[in-house]
Amino acid sequence: MNGAANPVRGEAGLRVGGAELVVRPSFQALVAAEGELGPLFELVERAGEGKLSLSVAAQKFRAVNRGNEQ
């Protein structure tokens, strides 16, 4: 994906090492993440409250990445 993230398409911008990456997990990836980490809405609430640990965030990225592999 190139260019700026389009939130209407479910994309998000992620800055890594000075580069802006555009990410958009597939439905399969979201299901995989939810199966591994619990309900996604609860994760969003915890993140909004500043209660999401780095280890859980890293697990989320790994689960989403595995779900996007085809």
Helix or strand run (H / E) with residue 12 = strand 12-16
Which residue from 58, 40, 38 is spatially nearest to 48, judged by alpha carbons? 40
Q: Are 40 and 32 in contact, with CB atoms under 8 Å apart?
A: no
* CA dihedral of 17, 57, 46, 6, whole degrees rounded to 10: 50
Q: Is the pTM of this model over 0.95?
A: no
Domain boundaries, the chain: 25-70
Per-residue model confidence as pLDDT tens digits over 15-70: 888 888 888 888 888 888 888 888 988 888 988 898 888 888 888 777 776 655 54
